[in-house]
Amino acid sequence: MTYCSFCGKEEAGGDHAFCRQRLSLIDPPRYCSECARRMVVQVTPDGWAARCSRHGEITSAR
């Protein structure tokens, strides 16, 4: 099962076009796509980093 990184709901459970648009333009992911846990997010002028307590960190890598 996978989860939306923006709203935290199941990917298969609805239309996430708005979520994908927000993630591609501005916002970092707020929820882990593997377990739906809320992530710790840090936004800097250079980009962002999001950390799941179980699955580690992802970054914008700009």
Read off the pLDDT of residues 6-50 as tens digits, 9 standing for 90 and up. Answer: 888 898 888 888 888 877 767 889 999 999 999 999 988 888 999
Contact 35, 29 (CB under 8 A): no
What pLDDT was estimated at residue 25? 66
Segments making up each domain of the chain, as ranges: 16-59
What pLDDT was estimated at residue 59? 92
- Count other C-beta atoms under 10 Å from residue 4's C-beta: 22
For residue 52, pLDDT over 60 is answered with yes
The answer for residues whose C-beta is within 8 angstroms of residue 50's C-beta and 6 or more apart is 28, 29, 30, 39, 40, 41, 42, 57, 58, 59
For residue 1, pLDDT over 90 is answered with no
pTM above 0.75, yes or no: no
What would the DSSP string read from start to end of 4-21? -TTT-SBGGGS--HHHHH
For residue 62, pLDDT over 60 is answered with no
